[in-house]
Amino acid sequence: MNLRYALLSLLVPVVAFAGELSYSITTAAADYLKRDIEPGEDHFASVAGPFNGVKAATVPTATYAIPTPLGQHWLLKDADVKISGSFEISPLSIRPALKAEFTPVPFLVFDAGGSVGTGWNPLGFNGMSIYNPAKAEYEALTPFKHYYYDLWATATFQFDLGAVIEGDWNHLVMLASYQWIYKAITGVDDGEIWEWQVIPGEANGWQYYVTGVLGYKMPLTLSMIGFMAEFYGHFDRADFAKRYKGFDGEFMWIDLSFLMEFTLSKKDNLKALFTFEGDRSFATPHESSDEEPFLVRTGREWSFYRIALSWEHNF
């Protein structure tokens, strides 16, 4: 036992000085545009107004990076592990998170983590609520009595043409990632529908989140333009109770975004996102998402969905 403690006493200082600690803060805001909801099969819905909802959050993050070189080859010598903790604060919720990330080679990243948070419902905005099927409406859950939580693992492939062909104007970047994620709210029975951070129609269960990005980086203030595609949903429609059968629990959401990144300084960057979304389309005309769990999905409704800005400052 004494020998083990002696070895640990030698190891701890090495680990403590081997890594690098960094800090950042990200503030993001999104405006969700109002659309004309139309029944039917696949179609495009027109914009009905500039505002249907808003979401904003500030996330301070601390990251500890530990070099873990796997050899002297240029592909392996920069391998590292990053441990990061963050604390998301928004007008509707708070949510701390912890993540571990491993980059064995420059083009592969693996990470895993989780978060837990609670929310409230001021001024009619639903931070955390549950669907009441008897009243066909969402009702507030009690903050700090109910908690949202998620657990995830992600594999990411990333590539920059500039690593192969040198030059400031040769940075064609590509990224593809696949995430397994479990989402739930404590005290909510499996199969019931809930809402978290103004996103309705959720239920406890395993989900997937697939992302693809194609971008072009430039040595300018406007440092990148690109296209991002996101595909996400539940693996199993059984995550939703049988009474919501027509809602189609296995529906795959699709977000298609044009993105821009501005490098404002060595420590600051601003991202802008303009998103078209493929949402559920139903057979029955309706006015709000409160009616949707009992409707029958018949197709996909495309709309200009969101304008989002994200500012990041590194200390």
Confidence at residue 3, expressed as pLDDT on a 0 to 100 scale: 38
How many angstroms separate the CA atoms of 310 and 315, rounded? 16
| Dihedrals phi, psi of 47, to nearest 5 degrees | -75, 130
| Dihedrals phi, psi of 167, to nearest 5 degrees | 140, 140
Which residue has 């975004």 as its token pair? Answer: 257
Pairing of strands 148-160, 199-203: unpaired
How many angstroms separate the CA atoms of 58 and 175, rounded? 25
Per-residue pLDDT in tens (0 to 9) along the chain, 315 residues: 443 433 333 334 444 446 899 999 999 999 999 888 899 999 999 988 888 888 999 999 999 999 998 887 778 888 999 999 999 999 999 999 999 999 999 999 999 999 999 999 998 888 999 999 999 999 999 999 999 999 999 999 999 999 889 899 999 999 999 999 999 999 999 999 999 999 999 999 999 999 999 999 999 999 999 999 999 999 999 999 999 999 999 999 999 999 999 999 999 999 999 999 999 999 999 988 999 999 999 999 999 999 999 999 999
Closest CA to 307 of 117, 63, 47: 47
Q: What are the extents of the domains in the chain?
A: 2-314
Tell which CATH architecture fits domain 2-314. Answer: Beta Barrel (2.40)
Pairs from 173-176 (Cβ < 8 Å, separation ≥ 24): 173/213, 173/214, 173/215, 173/216, 173/217, 173/224, 173/226, 174/213, 174/214, 174/215, 175/211, 175/212, 175/213, 176/210, 176/211, 176/212, 176/213
Confidence at residue 18, expressed as pLDDT on a 0 to 100 scale: 62
Residue 116, beta-bridge partner list: 149
How many angstroms separate the CA atoms of 277 and 44, rounded? 10
Structure tokens at 304: 């200009």
